[in-house]
Amino acid sequence: MTPTSSGGGVAPTLDGDELVEMVGDLGAVGRVGTLALDRTPGAHMSFADVCGLLDVIEAEPDYAGFVVTQGTDTIEETAFLVDLLHRDERPVVVTGAMRHPSMPGADGPANLSAAIRVAAAPHARELGVLVVMNDEIHAARLVRKVHTMSPAAFASVPGPLGWVAEGRPQIITRLPWRSTLPRPNGDFPPVALITAALGDDGRIIESLPGLGYRGVVIEALGGGHLPPAMANAVARVAEELPVVLTSRTGSGSTLEATYDFPGSEIDLLRNGALSAGCLDGAKARILLTVLLALERDREEIGAAFALYGGDGSVPDAAVGA
User: Which pLDDT belongs to residue 256?
Assistant: 95
User: Which pLDDT belongs to residue 283?
Assistant: 98
The Cα–Cα gap between 8 and 183 comes to: 40
3-state secondary structure of 277: coil
Domain boundary among 136, 171, 206: 171
Determine how many CB atoms are found less than 10 A away from the CB of residue 139: 21
CA angle, residues 224, 228, 233, in degrees to nearest 5: 85
The Cα–Cα gap between 270 and 305 comes to: 16
The answer as to whether 108 is a domain residue is yes
Q: Are residues 105 and 219 located together in one domain of the fold?
A: no
Q: Are residues 58 and 153 located together in one domain of the fold?
A: yes
User: Which pLDDT belongs to residue 22?
Assistant: 60
CATH number at residue 95: 3.40.50.1170
- Specify the pTM: 0.89
The answer as to whether 182 is a domain residue is no
Query: How does 85-117 read in b/e, with b if 16+ C-beta sit within 10 Å?
Result: bbebebbbbbbbbbbbbeeeebbbbbbbbbbbb
The answer as to whether 113 is a domain residue is yes
3-state secondary structure of 217: strand
Domain interval for residue 77: 2-171
Q: Are residues 165 and 204 located together in one domain of the fold?
A: no
User: Which pLDDT belongs to residue 211?
Assistant: 98
- Can you name the residues that pair with 35 across neighbouring β-strands? 68
Q: Are residues 265 and 218 located together in one domain of the fold?
A: yes
**143: Cβ–Cβ under 8 A, 6 or more apart, which residues?**
75, 76, 79, 131, 154, 155, 156
The Cα–Cα gap between 144 and 159 comes to: 11
User: How would you write the pLDDT of the chain (321 residues) with one tens digit per residue?
Assistant: 455 555 555 445 555 555 555 665 555 566 777 776 666 788 999 999 999 999 999 999 989 999 999 999 999 999 999 999 999 999 999 999 999 888 888 999 999 999 999 999 999 999 999 999 999 999 999 999 999 999 999 999 999 999 999 999 999 999 989 999 999 998 999 999 999 999 999 999 999 999 999 999 999 999 999 999 999 999 999 999 999 999 999 899 999 999 999 999 999 999 999 999 999 999 999 999 999 999 999 999 999 999 999 855 555 544 444
- Can you name the residues that pair with 49 across neighbouring β-strands? none
Q: Are residues 29 and 142 located together in one domain of the fold?
A: yes
User: Which pLDDT belongs to residue 318?
Assistant: 46
The answer as to whether 307 is a domain residue is yes
Number of domains composing the chain: 2
User: Which pLDDT belongs to residue 12?
Assistant: 54
Q: Are residues 141 and 234 located together in one domain of the fold?
A: no
User: Which pLDDT belongs to residue 310?
Assistant: 84
